[in-house]
Amino acid sequence: MHSKKAALLLFFVSIFFASCLSFIINSYTGAWFYTYTSTGFSSQYNLTPASFICLQPDNHYTLDFGKFEYGKWERNRDTLILNSSSGDQKIFFITYKMGNALKLNMQPGVVCDFEAQQYSFSKNTAQPFSLQDNQWRLHATHKETPAEIKMRLINHCQFWKNYFLWATDNNIAAVDVRATPSPVTIYGNGFALKEYYDLPDAWKNYFYDSSDCKLADSLLTNVFMHNTIAWPHTDSKYKMYIGAFEQLEQFLNNKDVSKFR
């Protein structure tokens, strides 16, 4: 009788520790945002408040540390290994992990701090850190047609729309809107198109060359000149931006770009 109870207790204890182990293994998944460099100075990466690494449960990842990449990730004890689609590999040493705080030794003598934000891969329909919503960040490998450039701009609108939808769904009080490379400046009560000379270098570098970037600028300028956004009446700034970017996306969809080049 006692042996049966002991076996049953051992079974439940095993289940408990297996559950804990599963939680520990999966606790690294999520969207992690750079907060600051607690040790040293990072000369290898151009980190901003918009820099993120999104570790998915299926071991795929997306990352933007001044340059966007994607691939597959794995963790070997205190080491985070990123194998990008381009064949490059990054190895970061995990110096601290507790709750929503993560410290990564990203290069000798440099430790960077990251903070997790609410992000549900199973429940959130908006996934602004997915590869699908970040096609616009991929550097063009060829001279793009006006139609391809238009799709890059549409995808950028989809990113912003889903970025604010994600913030809404997860009740996130504040999100960064200034550090993400964009041709649009977002204000507290709306947004405006940047002048070409004010465009971030990172945005310009997404295009194959300067003429393609200027074409994107001309296309956006034309859209802003000939369309008016009906700003939604809502107490939520996030919903206001979602509605505005939905309209901008539609304006671009309807734009005939055959005469642009």
Q: Which amino acid is at 237?
A: K
Give the Cα separation of 112 and 94 in Å (integer): 10
**For residue 227, is pLDDT > 50?**
yes
Full-model pTM: 0.87
The pLDDT value recorded for residue 216 is 98
Mean pLDDT (the chain) is: 89
Give me the mean pLDDT over the 161-175 stretch: 94
171 sits in the region (left: phi over 0; alpha: psi -120 to 50; else beta) called left
Q: Of all residues in the chain, what percent carry a pLDDT higher than 70? A: 90
> At residue 160, what are phi and psi to the nearest 5 degrees?
-65, -40
Domain chopping of the chain, boundaries: 28-117, 132-254
Q: Which amino acid is at 218?
A: S
Give the Cα separation of 60 and 54 in Å (integer): 8
Least Cα distance to 220 among 156, 166, 142 occurs for: 156
Q: Which residue has the higher pLDDT, 16 or 225?
A: 225
Helices (H), 40-145: none
Give me the mean pLDDT over the 181-188 stretch: 96
Out of 3.40.50.10110, 3.40.50.2300, 2.60.40.1150, 2.40.128.280, the CATH code matching 28-117 is 2.40.128.280
List 90's β-bridge partners, or say none. 82
40 sits in the region (left: phi over 0; alpha: psi -120 to 50; else beta) called left
The pLDDT value recorded for residue 236 is 93
**For residue 16, is pLDDT > 50?**
no
Pairing of strands 101-107, 89-98: antiparallel
Q: Which two tokens stand for residue 152?
A: 């890059």
**For residue 94, is pLDDT > 50?**
yes
**For residue 15, is pLDDT > 60?**
no
Helices (H), 27-140: none
Report residue 3's pLDDT band, with 50, 70 and 90 as the boundaries: low
